Amino acid sequence: MSMTDLGNVTAGSSSPAIDLADNVWDSEADDTLVCEAVRQETHDVRTFVLRPAAPGRFRFKPGQFMTYAFEIGGETLYRCYTISSAPTRPDRLSLTVKRVPGGPVSNWLHDTFKPGMSLRAVGPMGDFSCAEHPAGRYLFLSGGSGITPLMSMARTFHDLGRSEDVVFIHNARSPADIIFREELETMARVDEGFRFVPIVQSVSPLSPSSGLRGFLTRSLLEVVAPDFREREVFVCGPAPYMAAVRSMLAEAGFDMARYHDESFNFETLTASERADAAEAETQLDAEASLAVKTYTVEFTKTRRTVEVPETMTVLEAAKRAGMRLPSSCSKGMCGTCKSKKVSGSVEMTHQGGIRQREIDAGMVLLCCSKPTSDLVIER
Ligand X SMILES: Cc1cc2nc3c(=O)[nH]c(=O)nc-3n(C[C@H](O)[C@H](O)[C@H](O)COP(=O)(O)OP(=O)(O)OC[C@H]3O[C@@H](n4cnc5c(N)ncnc54)[C@H](O)[C@@H]3O)c2cc1C
Cβ(79)–Cβ(68) below 8 Å: yes
User: Which one of ligand FES, ligand X, none is in contact with 333 (Cβ closer than 5 to 8 A by kind)?
Assistant: ligand FES
Stretch that binds ligand X, among 9-17, 22-30, 74-82, 215-223 (CB under 6 A): 74-82
Q: What are phi and psi of 231, to 5 degrees?
A: -105, 155
Residue 100 as a binder of ligand X (CB under 6 A): the answer is yes
Closest CA to 2 of 24, 22, 32, 47: 32
Residue 352 as a binder of ligand X (CB under 6 A): the answer is no
Cβ(114)–Cβ(247) below 8 Å: no
Residue 145 as a binder of ligand X (CB under 6 A): the answer is yes
Of the candidate residues 42, 82, 156, 339, the single one contacting ligand X (CB under 6 A)? 82
Pairing status of strand 65-72 against strand 45-52: unpaired
User: Which one of ligand FES, ligand X, none is in contact with 314 (Cβ closer than 5 to 8 A by kind)?
Assistant: none
Least distance to ligand X, CB of residue 261, Å: 11
User: Which one of ligand FES, ligand X, none is in contact with 266 (Cβ closer than 5 to 8 A by kind)?
Assistant: ligand X
Least distance to ligand FES, CB of residue 304, Å: 18
User: Which one of ligand FES, ligand X, none is in contact with 330 (Cβ closer than 5 to 8 A by kind)?
Assistant: ligand FES
User: Which one of ligand X, ligand FES, none is in contact with 96 (Cβ closer than 5 to 8 A by kind)?
Assistant: ligand X
Least distance to ligand FES, CB of residue 127, Å: 14
Q: What are phi and psi of 38, to 5 degrees?
A: -125, 130
Q: CA gyration radius for the chain? A: 22
Residue 288 as a binder of ligand X (CB under 6 A): the answer is no
Stretch that binds ligand X, among 54-62, 79-87, 241-249, 313-321 (CB under 6 A): 79-87
User: Which one of ligand X, ligand FES, none is in contact with 188 (Cβ closer than 5 to 8 A by kind)?
Assistant: none
Least distance to ligand X, CB of residue 372, Å: 28
Site residues (CB under 6 A) for ligand FES? 327-330, 332-337, 353, 365, 367
Least distance to ligand FES, CB of residue 368, Å: 6
User: Cβ atoms within 10 A of the Cβ of 275, count?
Assistant: 11
Of the candidate residues 25, 60, 65, 196, the single one contacting ligand X (CB under 6 A)? 65
In the complex with ligand FES, the residue whose CB is nearer, 216 or 329, is 329
Least distance to ligand FES, CB of residue 120, Å: 16
Stretch that binds ligand X, among 13-21, 47-55, 142-150, 241-249 (CB under 6 A): 142-150
Q: 16: which strand partners?
A: none
Stretch that binds ligand X, among 93-101, 132-140, 183-191, 207-215 (CB under 6 A): 93-101
In the complex with ligand X, the residue whose CB is nearer, 106 or 171, is 106
What is each CA distance from 262 to 45, 80, 81, 146, 331, in whole angstroms?
Answer: 20, 12, 12, 8, 14
Residue 157 as a binder of ligand X (CB under 6 A): the answer is no
Residues near ligand X, by CB under 6 A: 65, 79-82, 96-98, 100, 103-107, 144-145, 148, 262, 264-268, 328
